[in-house]
Amino acid sequence: MTAYQRQFLGMLIWTPLALAQSAPQHEAALAQNAPERELAHDVLKELIEINTTDSSGDNTRAAEAMAARFRSAGFAASDIHVLAPVARKGNVIVRLHGSSTTLKPILFLGHLDVVEARRDDWTFDPFKLVEQDGYIYGRGTQDMKTDDALLVTTFIRLKQEGFVPVRDIVLALTADEEGGEHNGVQWLLKEHRNLIDADYCINADAGGGQIKNGKRLLMGVQAAEKTFASFRLTVRNRGGHSSLPVKDNAIYELADGLARLEKSDFPPRLNEVSRSFFERMAGISTGQLAADFRGVARNPPDNASVERLSRESYYNAVLRTTCVPTLLKGGHAENALPQLAEAVVNCRMVPDDTAGTIKDTLISVLNDPKIVVTPVDEVSASPFSPLRTDVLNAITAATDTIWPRVPVVPLMETGATDGKYLRLAGIPAYGVSALFIDVDDIRAHGKDERIGEQSFYDGVRFDYQLVKRLVGR
Ligand SMILES: [Zn+2]
């Protein structure tokens, strides 16, 4: 789901300072024939060409293919696990042992499944790796088989180098992040927690680099995400014949309530991650925008800054919990007074809110006891991951090695990833994709999905640097 974050930031009116470097087409310094580049390319090709869609694909086949690569790279059979709750929904886990017996492992996470892709909708076969004009095409190139291939390559490379990390590192590539009934992360936490238990997780399905107009703007680290929570608003009435209308009407009452909701905003509620996002954005912006970023990061936030930034949907979504009506139905006949009017309001909760407080707020905003508010599902907000300096320093150092002067910016994602299950289970998660993607060329889940070759090969170097800086000596 990583693409959403990139897309939303891409909609911003950017006034970047001249410090972000431009994205060169080729880096002469790069060893063009480095074996790890070839390996990464092979792994990516293999992953793309194994269909892992929910409808007709086979995640287990992809998991087995990666397990075979780990075996031939020298990982012990006891350190490789392919585990599947049902056929076609396999997950693969591999462990590289570290020297410490007391430090908990670091988990690296990716998902192997991809969104459906129809041959008729695409210029190329979505399940064949195609290279053209500096791009690699195929379903999953952005979300997220390229990052999977980079992590697999890094683990194999480290194993073959005889690298001993200061603590265990674990790689889990899972099923059903994009949908389906067998989410690998949830299932592994429930059934095989010992295999993936960790001090924290690096989730390659979130965060990552953003390019705009050929410039590398920032490297995002997703350290929080909002939680999806829907509520049903129901108004009932005894109804009657529409030739004899009365003032109490279920549709009017619901509509009046929704109008009150439209005019009300949840209060701004920042956490460590979103505050740090605004502070860092202030550092790479200019003028009123920079002043407003600083204004909202203050405690308490500056009201005028909150008001100005709230006009932009992305900043508004980072500032607060949002609730918006998304479904509406009512009445049963053209000639009858409605006995029922119903709306579904979809809320996206910031980490510190709870479904209970959102419901109470909705009830007070709707301000009509005839509108009954019920949660559609049980939900718990996912806590944010504390911005650990050791983690951020490693990400910053790795970023600086590959892309000097590109700033690292913590993000709170307005959508959702598997990171939320880990955070809820007490394992902080940091979304760090190794890829730079042009914010005007987001093709995840879409047609002719592609990744720049330069971005791919830079990613080979970045993941290696990142792991070395997290668990090297
Ligand atoms: Zn994804």
In the reported structure, the alpha carbon of residue 2 is separated from the centroid of ligand 1 by a whole-number distance in angstroms of 5
CA distance 435 to 34: 19
Instruction: Using a pLDDT cut of 90, give the percent of the chain over it.
Output: 87
DSSP H or E segment with residue 427:
none
Overall average pLDDT of the 2-9 stretch: 53
Q: How far is the CA of 322 from the centre of ligand 1 (A)?
A: 23
Q: What is the pLDDT of residue 439?
A: 86
| pLDDT tens digits, one per residue of 351-405 | 989 999 999 999 999 999 999 999 999 888 889 999 999 999 999 999 999 999 9
Question: What's the CATH class of domain 227-266+321-375?
Answer: alpha beta
Tell me what pLDDT residue 415 has: 81
- The per-residue pLDDT for 9 is 60
pLDDT at residue 416, as a whole number = 83
E-strand stretches of 12-156: 80-83, 91-96, 106-111, 130-132, 135-137
**pLDDT score recorded for residue 35:** 92
Q: Tens digit of pLDDT for each residue in 419-447? A: 999 999 999 999 999 999 998 888 888 89
Look at residue 28 in the predicted model and tell me its pLDDT. 43
Note whether 111 and 144 are within 8 A (CB): yes
What was the pLDDT predicted at 352?
85
Using the mean position of ligand 1's atoms as its centre, give its distance from the Cα of residue 122 in Å. Answer: 20
Task: Report pLDDT for 376.
Answer: 95
Instruction: Answer whether 0.75 is exceeded by the pTM.
Output: yes
- What is the end-to-end Cα distance of the chain in Å, rounded? 33
Give CA 440 to chain center in angstroms.
18
Residue 23 pLDDT > 50 = no
| Strand 91-96 versus strand 80-83 pairing type | antiparallel
**Gap from CA of 30 to ligand 1 centroid (Å):** 28
Whole-number mean pLDDT of the chain? 93
Integer angstrom CA distances of residue 229 from 183, 397, 434: 19, 37, 30
How far, in Å, from the CA of 287 to the mean position of ligand 1?
A: 35
What average pLDDT score do residues 308-313 get? 95
Q: What is the rounded distance in angstroms from the CA atom of residue 462 to the CA atom of residue 433?
A: 10
Take residue 355 and report the two structure tokens written for it: 């479904």
What's the pLDDT score for residue 33? 63
What separation in Å is there between the alpha carbon of 437 and the centre of ligand 1? 14
CA 328 – ligand 1 centroid, Å: 30
Cα of 44 to ligand 1 centre, how many Å?
Answer: 15
Architecture of the 7-225+382-471 domain: 3-Layer(aba) Sandwich (3.40)
pLDDT of 87 strictly over 80: yes
- Give the helix/strand (H/E) hosting 301: none
pLDDT in tens, 263-297: 999 999 999 999 999 999 999 999 999 999 999 99
Distance 111 CA to ligand 1 centre (A): 7
Alpha carbon of 128 to ligand 1 centroid (Å) = 19
CA of 176 to the centre of ligand 1 (A): 10
What are the residue ranges spanned by the domains of the chain? 7-225+382-471, 227-266+321-375, 268-306
How far is residue 302's CA from residue 384's CA, in Å, rounded to a whole number? 23
Give the helix, strand, coil percentages of the chain, each rounded to 5: 35, 20, 40
Please state whether the peptide bond connecting residue 300 to the residue before it is cis, i.e. omega within 30 degrees of 0: yes
Q: How far is the CA of 112 from the centre of ligand 1 (A)?
A: 9
pLDDT band at 17 (very low <50, low <70, confident <90, very high): very low
How far is residue 325 from each of residues 229, 256, 259, 362, 429, measured CA to CA in Å?
12, 13, 10, 12, 30
